[in-house]
Amino acid sequence: MIEPLPPGLTVSADGPVRTVLIDRPDELNAVNADLHRALARVWRHLDADAEARVVILTGAGRAFSAGGDLEWITSFLDDPVARDESIREGAEIIEELLRFPLPVIAAVNGAAVGLGASIAVLCDVVLMSESAYLADPHVAVGLVAGDGGAAFWPLLTPILRTREFLYTGDRIDAATAVSVGLASRTTPPDALLDEAHSLAHRLAAQPVEALRGTKRVVNMYLTQALAGPLQAGFAAEVVSMQTDEHRERLRGLRRPAR
């Protein structure tokens, strides 16, 4: 029996379409311990839903996900058990998403940062609001971009562009994300969910086994290509979590502005 999902995600149904809502709008959908666990488990919940055919993933409020919650990440400085569990769970999120048999449409409604960007880009189709952006600021806070960016983005974008994006953590606006291969297409902000639902219902009407089999074959390339880089990335991220530079960068982010 599958346990209920932890807080932070809600799942709603519209015929054969399931919408997974990242639901911490007051915190810009930043990922805390509960939401991280939910993102790892939701894919098995959906796989067990015999009526589901397509999934939409989006965020509540102004953001898709602002990345890791600072309070949660800072707790790792003095809690290596929680730190290591977060790394194990981070790998699980990516592995489960890659194995998930149904098409997943990311409706990126706002900022998709860090893990939020990784999850969005791992989806089968990435629709971005024209006002949304991607960013991976791991390096800027003293961390290796181990939860997807360093391993996954070079498969999709020219490697010279990938390096600049990851080394600087700069924002990638929606149009640039499409032009370099990190998103499928843009939509006006008020049309994003309508576009996502329209595409989802179109895909849901496709022959089930043909669609699932096609996704499985496409994702074989990704799974094989990512096996080594992901393992190396997470191992390197653990090492970077223990550095003085990371500790000081986190403390600087948490200091109140004067």
Helix (H/G/I), strand (E/B), else coil: 173:
strand
Per-residue tokens: 193: 């969910």
pTM for the model stands at: 0.94
Q: Is 107:57 a contact under the CB 8 Å cutoff?
A: yes
Q: Which residues contact 193 (CB under 8 A, 6 or more apart)?
A: 56, 58, 107, 109
Looking at CATH, the fold of the domain delimited by 9-190 is given as 2-enoyl-CoA Hydratase; Chain A, domain 1 (3.90.226)
Residue 127 reports pLDDT greater than 50: yes
Q: Determine the pLDDT at residue 255.
A: 55
Domain ranges, ordered by start, for the chain: 9-190
Rounded Cα–Cα distance for residues 73 and 86 (Å) = 9
Q: Provide φ and ψ at 11, rounded to 5°.
A: -125, 125
> Tell me, what's the pLDDT at 257?
43
pLDDT-derived band at 2, boundaries 50, 70, 90: low
Q: Stretch 146-152: mean pLDDT, rounded?
A: 86
182 conformational bin, left if phi > 0, alpha if psi -120 to 50, beta if neither: alpha
